[in-house]
Structure 1
Amino acid sequence: MYFLLMFIMLFSTASNKQIRLKNNGRFPDKFTFGTATSAYQTEGAWNLDGKGESIWDNFMHKVPSPALYGDTGDIACDSYRRYKEDIRNAAELGVQIYKFSIAWSRILPTGYANFINDKGLTHYKNVVKEILKYNMTPAVTIYHWDLPQRLLEDGIDWTTNDLIPHFVNYSRILIRNLPEVGYWITINEPKQICRLGYGIGVIAPGIKSNGVLEYHCAYIVLKSHAAVYRMFKKEFPHYTAKMSLGSDCQWIRPLTSSPSDIEAATRQLQFECGMYFHPLFNGDWPEILKQRIQERSFAANLSKSRLPEFTDEEIYDIKGNYDFLGINHYYTIFTKNGIESPPNITSYEADVRVTDSFDVYKPDGIYELLKWLTEEYGYHEILITELGLGQNFTYLNKIKTPHLQSKPPYVITENIYINDIDRIYHFKGYMCYILEAITDGINVIGIIIWNLMDDLEWIFGYNIRFGLYYIDFEDPKLPRISKKSAEFIKDLMRTRTLNCTETIQPVCLI
């Protein structure tokens, strides 16, 4: 699920394009496919069996609601109770990985490790057991945005060093009790946590500190990830699971061939992707980040840069703490060099200084991104931890504000959701270019499709649909119905082959 996409692109079309691969369109035998869910978006049972309140429980219960139509995750897909059905549906697709996240406050209701909620821990043990029953590999996201509310109220969050030991304690409990997990994703989409949660403040915890706290958040996220990774390798050396960060990274192209636009695209790549990958793989922030933010900080008469400075020890502690490179990818950005803002304007946008346009269906962008990541950070195993496309962009384009509390008369029929042919073209195009990258020697080891079923798309409620299974949220029974895209994935799992020489049709989302 790539949340920022909802703010920037509500409708997309693409011209026919042919992909001509160097191979026969067959994925390597060891290549793995998976699908995914996250706790707050699917589980429901928000206050049952000892679960504590999370920042998303608190955020979505505000009045007026920050979410479209006042939707919440109180019930969601009811997956807390129906996890066996959902895991069985994933198994029927034929995928090899089932990725899910754990709700921190379901394990530690207050966020502190002085009390472990046994019912919550037992639940996730049962989830792992059920995944293994179908010979799938459990992949666990330790943190998918749902910080315990108590920690926030105590002044401990992703902008404070005090969070790090609590995140390590929580992670240790999970790792110790779930030894069968095959992949650990420490933190999902840190850019969204920091940019949207602490920069422009449109997701929980809703703090607006554009160009200031989002950088502090990035600093703490990286140190937190590294601390958990070091703990994992030191205390659990006999475990064979792999661990990394799951960072969202889109491909960025210059809008024109002008040197200024080319420079702008490079700059934005470092702000959007390098901010999290560069410290992990190369050490320290990218130079352009340090330069731009320091220059604008000093121009505004600040005594130091708004970007926190890593100490030599912190650089050493963060660099190299990964077992693979994990990326969430959804679209391509076309960027143009922007106008320098006055020094009294403090914002991330002023620091990056670009003007963007977007294309959801630009499948060759994933090839260019994978190539760039390999050139920039070296030859590593790359796991695409999210790849997907949501339905309902045109529907949202008819809505003037994301804060409506009652639904407009515009209705989309269930059949249109289920017959999601456009999404098949989307998956096929992107996967063909991933195959092209593999053929050219880039070490992509797997794709995890976002997501298994329609769920709560954060403040857009149940109105954006990324699922391979359709859910009618107006029906109390919340039936899971297989979409056409699910049938496509089943067939791909059976043959492991794509015909990438046929014309890829235009995408015109409902």
Structure 2
Amino acid sequence: MTHNYPSTIEDLTNGDVADDSYNQYKRDVEMMRELGLQFYRFSLSWPRILPTGFPNKLNEPGIQYYNNLIDEMLKYNIEPMITLYHWDLPQRLQELGGWANPHIADWFADYARVAFENYGDRVKYWITINEPYDLCAPGYGDGFAAPMVVSKGIGEYMCAKNLLIAHSKAYHIYDKEFRYKTKGIIGISLSAKWHEPESEDDTEIADHMRQFQFGQFAHPIFSENGDFPPIMKEKIATKSAEQGFSRSRLPEFTADEIKLLKGSADFLGLNHYTTQIIRQDASATYDVPSFWDDIGGTTYQLDEWESTASPWLKVVPWGFYKILNKIKETYDNPTIIITENGLPTFGGLDDDNRVAYLRSYIGAMLDAMDDGCNIIGYAAWSLMDNFEWIYGYRVRFGLYEVDHTSPNRTRTPRKSAFVYKEIVRTRTLDTSYEPDTNLMTIDEGH
């Protein structure tokens, strides 16, 4: 996509080299040591390990790279947390339909087994798939993200079902064949905004939005029925019939698939950044069919909320508190690891707004924990700047700034890195703390 359609990326860049962690992994681990981290979450690249997408051909240098990274982390008692799939699909599999092809569940299961075979003896924390909603909706519905399939109201639901089956197969492979090696745990990372109703009259549509986005993937795994949310099935079936379809555009799970899905996660990974207001809007028009027409609500953000470098992300820490309590209430208080939470800037080392964001959101998380939410871990997004999808390198999320013009991709700690280090060290949120940013040292006592 970035080569054939470079204009889809704001700054016309691509991720060919990006942070070059392949060669800079020892510096990456050094940064983890500087911060005093207990764990670090990273993803495997499916095409780096299996270039054809299938296990008939293993790329040994790719396998070895992750061995090197894992061993370097464990040398310093930093636990690896591996995400099997953070949207890195072998091109050959995309040419066969990608996540719209039901066979991908078996392809993913084969890939997962290769990962477990090579790293399962040392890795205790696994995540199958990162942010399925944000993969399926823009990739197979609206078509503005890779693989740029425009199939609104159809493609994203096909993607969702196949992805969930793939997740469940990987989970059961790990559970039956590899868990005993490290007594490890395996889950899935879901994205969730908080949707606040504009008025009391909008309470129902806010609940529907949460179920369509977050619940679409949480409900089959964490609810009692192991299926898509009932309101989602009802609305899409009704709309499909009205639109002349012979069956619901939302694919059905078989009884065996429901059985495989139900309970297929030891923890819920939660990626949360921001909040939106939602209202029922009878005057709004949507593409028919489409995800948004199926829901029938309009979302927006308030002007008075603090803006950031990304137009979609405003600072609303109370939304984090609310979504955590809603998950506790809806899914019987599952074990949660916050796998992403952070703020983007346009660069620079003095990032006081990121410092304030992290303190306020971690504070909201602690309030939710006081309410009984079962949160066992937190990871800021992200350790260093990255290729941020359609925004390229224009938007920066890193605690460490990366100089992408440097051959070594020089990493330099921002103010937020010093503050985060102090939070990790002291386990406190001291809003008066002002770090000395002249020198970042390694905390050998983490």
TM-score by length of 2: 0.91
Q: Establish whether residue 316 from structure 1 lines up as the match of residue 259 from structure 2.
A: yes
Q: CA deviation at 1:475?
A: 3.3
Q: How does 1:139-158 map to 2 (within 5 A)?
A: 139-153=81-95, 155-158=96-99
d(CA) in 2 for partners of 1:250, 1:342: 23
Asked whether the 8 Å contact 1:191–1:247 carries over to 2, the reply is yes
Q: Is 1:176 matched up with 2:117?
A: yes
What amino acid sits opposite 2:109 in the alignment? Answer: V
Counterpart CA distance in 2 for 1:380 and 1:209 is: 33
Instruction: Determine which of 131, 141, 148 is the counterpart of 1:199.
Output: 141
Give 1:444's aligned amino acid. Answer: I
Residues in 1 aligned to 2:258 and 2:276: alpha-carbon distance in whole angstroms:
30
**Does 1:167 pair with 2:121?**
no
Instruction: Indicate which of 396, 404, 428 corresponds to 2:359.
Output: 428
Query: Is 1:123 aligned to residue 65 of structure 2?
Result: yes
Residue 75 (structure 1) aligned with residue 17 (structure 2) = yes
Structure 1 ranges of 4+ moved more than 6 A: 340-344
| Pair 1:374–1:334, CA change in 2 (3 A) | same
Distance in 2, matches of 1:114 and 1:133, equals 32
For 1:386, which of 340, 346, 351 is the aligned residue? 340
Match of residue 349 from structure 1 = 292
Correspondence list, 1:30-41, <5 A: none
Instruction: Write the distance in 2 (CA, Å) between the matches of 1:343 and 1:204.
Output: 22
SS at match of 2:396: coil
Number of aligned positions between the proteins: 418
After TM superposition, give the deviation of residue 69 of structure 1 in Å.
2.6
Give CA deviations for 1:411-467 in whole Å, capped at 9, x if unaligned. xxx6xx210001111000010111111112111101111101111101211011000
CA distance in 1, matches of 2:60, 2:430: 49
Q: CA deviation at 1:499?
A: 4.2
> Could you say which residue in structure 1 is the equivalent of 2:209?
268
**Would the aligned equivalents of 1:98 and 1:138 in 2 still touch at CA under 8 Å?**
yes
> Secondary structure of 1:175's partner?
helix
Return 5+ residue gaps in structure 2 as ranges: 306-313, 434-446
> 1:463 is matched with which residue: 394, 410, 418?
394
Offset, 1:500: 7.3
Percent identity of equivalent pairs: 41
1:459-498 alignment to 2 at 5 Å?
459-498=390-429
Alpha-carbon separation, structure 2, partners of 1:324 and 1:307: 26
Q: Which moved more, 1:471-480 or 1:78-87?
A: 471-480
Question: Within the alignment, does 1:371 sit opposite 2:325 as a pair?
Answer: yes
Relative contact order, higher structure (CA 8 A, sep 6+): 1
> 2: CA distance between counterparts of 1:235 and 1:424?
43
Deviation at 1:237, TM superposition (A): 3.8
1:161-192 deviation digits (Å, cap 9, x = unpaired): 11111111111011111121121110000001
The 1:71–1:278 alpha-carbon spacing in structure 2 relative to 1, beyond 3 Å, is same
Instruction: State yes or no: 1:253 paired with 2:207.
Output: no
- Verify the 8 A CA contact 1:296 1:343 in the aligned structure 2: no
Q: AA paired with 2:133?
A: K
Output the amino acid matched with 2:427: R
For 1:298, the aligned partner's letter is A
How far does the alpha carbon of each residue in 1:222-244 deviate from its partner, in whole angstroms, 9 at most, with x for none? 10000100111111141311101
- d(CA) in 2 for partners of 1:343, 1:333: 19
* Secondary structure at 2:98 match in 1: coil
Matched residue SS, 1:456: coil
- Displacement after TM superposition at 1:501 (Å): 11
Cα 1:344–1:122 shift into 2, 3 Å: closer
Deviation at 1:338, TM superposition (A): 2.2
Per-residue Cα deviation, 1:81-114 (whole angstroms, up to 9, x for no partner): 0011011112210111111111111111010111
In structure 2, the CA distance between the partners of 1:64 and 1:369, relative to structure 1 (3 Å rule), is closer
Q: Which amino acid aligns with 1:81?
A: N
Instruction: Let me know the Cα RMSD of the aligned residues.
Output: 1.7
How many angstroms does 1:343 deviate by? 9.8
Q: Kindly tell me: are residues 313 and 78 of structure 1, through their superposed partners in 2, closer, same or farther at Cα, counting changes over 3 Å?
A: same
Q: 1:186 aligns with which of 124, 128, 137?
A: 128
For 1:69 and 1:430, the matched residues in 2 are separated by 30
1:134 to 72, 76, 80: 76
Distance in structure 2 (CA, Å) of the matches to 1:214 and 1:63: 22
- Determine the C-alpha separation between the residues in 2 that align with 1:340 and 1:281: 35
Question: Which amino acid is 1:75 matched to?
Answer: V
1:335 paired residue number: 278
Distance 2:427 2:404 in 1: 33
CA shift for structure 1 position 119? 1.1
Partners in 1 of 2:355 and 2:153 — Cα distance? 38
8 Å contact from structure 2 (residues 179, 185) kept in 1: no
> For residues 91 and 381 of structure 2, what CA distance do their matches in structure 1 show?
27
TM-score, L = length of structure 1:
0.80
Q: Is the 8 A contact 1:275 1:285 kept in 2?
A: yes
Q: Is the 8 A contact 1:325 1:382 kept in 2?
A: yes
Unaligned ranges ≥5, structure 1: 1-58, 393-413, 503-510
Among candidates 443, 449, 460, match of residue 374 of structure 2:
443
**For the residues of structure 2 that align with 1:275 and 1:367, how far apart are their CA atoms?**
21
How far did 1:379 drift? 2.2
Whether the 8 Å CA contact 1:299–1:343 is kept in 2: the answer is no
| Residues 68-77 or 463-472, more deviating | 68-77
Instruction: Determine the C-alpha separation between the residues in 1 that align with 2:324 and 2:114.
Output: 34
